[in-house]
Amino acid sequence: MTGGSGCVIWFTGLSGAGKSTLAEALGGYIRSRGEKVELLDGDIVRKVFPQTGFSKKERDEHIRRMGYLASILERNGVFVIASFISPYRESRDFVRGLCKNFVEVYVSTSLAECEKRDVKGLYRRARAGEISSFTGIDDPYEVPPSPEITIDTAGESVEESLESLVNKLKSLNILE
């Protein structure tokens, strides 16, 4: 693996794209190989810090804070698997700059597929005007111009997506 130096694997994409599911699967895979792993998930972190808002400024601050935390864990030899919508390119680039070993995973599942999944009912509520500043509906998602990995979870199982991800991480010398 990275020889104990840690790594930040940053999942980004729309709500419902499959980021958390794939991040959890990858965490289990890496942990089963005896590595230290921490998962930072947007939904879980927002439960701990419920006052985190959704304006552009608040989202940027949130991602910068989580990126800083990820970089500290990375310096201590931890594989950090971060799963955040992180809609703005500038914030993701800021996090990349903090980290020594940073891998951006763009979960490129289409808006139509994410809306079809809508397990939390968020897209329905956003379309009904009950939620404002919802990424992909009335707030932009800036697609990463050159992520290390792009995965579309539509039409493939979690296991298939995980296999593609692991193979790519091996080719980048992140995993053995």
**Is the pLDDT reported for residue 3 higher than 70?**
no
H or E element, residue 103: strand 102-107
pLDDT at 24: 97
Q: Kind of pairing, strands 37-41 and 79-83?
A: parallel
Which has more confidence, 132 or 145?
145
pLDDT at 50: 66
Q: Which of 91-100, 125-134, 141-150 has the lowest mean pLDDT?
A: 125-134
- Whether the full predicted model's pTM is greater than 0.75, yes or no, is yes
Q: What is the spatial distance between Cα 126 and Cα 46, in angstroms, rounded to a whole number? A: 19
Q: What is the spatial distance between Cα 141 and Cα 85, in angstroms, rounded to a whole number? A: 8
* Domain positions in the chain: 7-170
Q: What is the spatial distance between Cα 46 and Cα 173, in angstroms, rounded to a whole number? A: 32
H or E element, residue 19: helix 19-31
Confidence of residue 132 (pLDDT cuts 50, 70, 90): confident
Query: Which class is domain 7-170?
Result: alpha beta
With contact defined as beta carbons under 8 Å apart, do 79 and 102 qualify? no
pLDDT at 14: 96
How far does the chain reach from its first CA to its final CA, in angstroms?
A: 5
Give the tens place of pLDDT for each residue, 45-55.
Answer: 777 776 777 78
Please state the rounded mean pLDDT for residues 127-156: 93
From 20, 71, 83, 86, the catalytic residue: 86
Does 164 qualify as catalytic in the annotation?
no
With contact defined as beta carbons under 8 Å apart, do 7 and 79 qualify? yes
